[in-house]
Amino acid sequence: MPYNDLREFIETLEKSGDLQRIKEEVDWNLEAGAIMRKANESESPCVLFENIKGCPMGYRLASGVLSTFKRLAIAMDINPDSTYNEILYEYVNRRGNRIKPMIVSDGPCKENIIKGEEVDLLKFPVPMIHEGDGGRYIGTLDVGICKDLDSDWVNYGTYRLMVHDKNSTGIATPPAQHVGIIYAKYEGEGKPMPYVTCIGVDPIISFIATTGVPYGVSEVDVAGGVRREPLKLVKCETVDLYVPATAEIVLEGEILPYERKNEGMFGEYSGYQIAERAPRPIFKVKCITHRNDPILTVSCIGIYRDDFLIAGLMGWSADLKEHLLELGIPITGIYIPPESGAQLCIIATKTPYPRIANRIASAIWGHKSGLWIPRVMVVNDDVDPTNMTQVIHAFVTKCHPKTGTIVFDKSPGGVFTPFIDQFTEEMDEKGLMASGCNVLYDCTWRLNMKRIPVRSAFNDIYPEEIKNRVLEKWEKYGFKSCMVD
């Protein structure tokens, strides 16, 4: 059964031993962030802070909600021990069966309603996550909601929010992202864009908000399909938008046209504090609704594991897999390693014709979910993209250093890509898009090779009868397990 809210999910994590409650007083200024980052890097349980310095008792912080594949599996209500490929398969199957939301008249998110001068973002335990960040970020594992100016399409996405003062934040709106595309329409007509941010929702909603759902498709409907039950939505107090009824915190307001204020820096998903402080749009908050004893969800983004690098990259992988198959490309596997900080996509494929790797890379970079990935590695179908032993072996043995490495110069990229020189490259006005460089590593055998070398591995170089005999007698030989690649 799907979770009604974040609280039910947290209870499930606690029952499975995957939750760490911290009752000791913790400072929102860097101490909480340092604990979150250490927990992510050590693959520790989800952290629930219950005593934040200077905040009312009952106001809590949750971090690492989706920072492991196990938690993503639990969020989807499947076996917690499911493999990456099993989770990917289940997600792809479910998301094709979209379910429309259910509109309700009220919900827990309305337990407290604050408007006008009473609005104060810093009443919540908003953390200073990394040293050197431009400010305290209230939106890191949030769901931003806006409506297209020219249609009924409503977009759900995850866009960071840095607190400027009690009732306004900065917001990053990359022009290639849906929020940037929609905001440009409003700004082009000199209109403020109604905008809402929800914090602390059913983790499936957070998951879907990080994925590359196509332009014009409702993330709410996709989330309903993945949950296998419709989302319950309630109308906002001050804007004509609907939000998940069980959200912990809802910020209602508008993003102003042609007004900018410096936002950033921030420790981003690529594993670096990057994207220079720059003038970016302002989200003016006019109303806050929240549950009693609210939980502010936070993603402490950084090297190797966080909520985006698990949930987001699973979504990107699904998007790209579906896209490539629709193009008739015979891929057999796809993986964006969390360790890569979303900077590498590995594709396994059959090779029916020469240079199929070039077509795969072009298709990935032409898709919304592949735009930000500067490196593509294509391997043969005998390689499991999730098995780094096999991938590295294919890279160093099959990728010709000269002809197998194809550089695509002056490609569009994001400034969260660390190797882009933000002081010399061509930038967009918001300092979020740049002229970058992509590279393809073709790790497939050439079709015109006179002889394809046989891999000296158990599965490849021995007759089936010998392999079967060895596997059957493995424990008799004295071994405890039979793990082979």
pLDDT given for residue 415 in this prediction: 62
pLDDT given for residue 420 in this prediction: 66
pLDDT given for residue 476 in this prediction: 83
Count Cβ atoms within 10 A of the Cβ of residue 33 and give its class: 0-12 exposed, 13-18 middle, 19 or more buried.
buried
**Stated pTM of the model:** 0.85
What structural domains does the chain harbor? Answer: 69-290 (2.30.110.10), 327-443 (3.40.1670.10)
CA distance 183 to 193: 6
Residue of 245, 246, 208 whose CA lies nearest to 6: 246
Tokens 């500067």 correspond to 374
Residue of 456, 313, 445 whose CA lies nearest to 386: 313
Tokens of residue 415, six digits: 């400034």
Burial 428-462, CB ≥16 within 10 A → b, else e: bebbbbbbbbbbbbbbbbeeeeeeeeebeeeeeee
273-274 and 266-267 as β-strands: parallel, antiparallel, unpaired?
A: antiparallel
Give Cα 176 distance to the centre of its chain: 16
pLDDT given for residue 433 in this prediction: 61
pLDDT per position in the chain (485 positions), as tens? 789 999 999 999 999 999 999 999 999 999 999 999 998 888 889 999 999 999 999 999 999 999 999 999 999 999 999 999 999 999 999 998 999 999 999 999 999 999 999 999 999 999 999 998 999 999 999 999 999 999 999 999 999 999 999 999 999 888 888 999 999 999 999 999 999 999 999 999 999 998 888 889 999 999 999 999 999 999 999 999 999 999 999 999 999 999 999 998 888 877 777 777 889 999 999 999 999 999 999 998 877 677 877 877 888 899 999 999 999 999 999 999 988 888 899 999 999 888 999 999 999 999 988 888 999 999 999 999 999 999 999 999 999 999 999 998 877 766 666 666 655 556 556 556 666 789 999 999 888 888 888 877 788 878 899 988 988 888 888 877 655 55
**Can you name the residues that pair with 438 across neighbouring β-strands?**
408
CA distance 326 to 324: 5
Burial 335-362, CB ≥16 within 10 A → b, else e: bbbbebbbbbbbbbbebeeeebbeebbe
The 3-state secondary structure of 272-290 reads: CEECCCEEEEEEEEEEEEE
Q: What is the CA radius of gyration of the chain?
A: 23
Tokens 């891999």 correspond to 455
Answer whether 291's CB lies under 8 Å from 248's CB. yes
pLDDT given for residue 422 in this prediction: 58
pLDDT given for residue 96 in this prediction: 87
CA distance 169 to 157: 17
Residue of 423, 412, 436 whose CA lies nearest to 175: 412
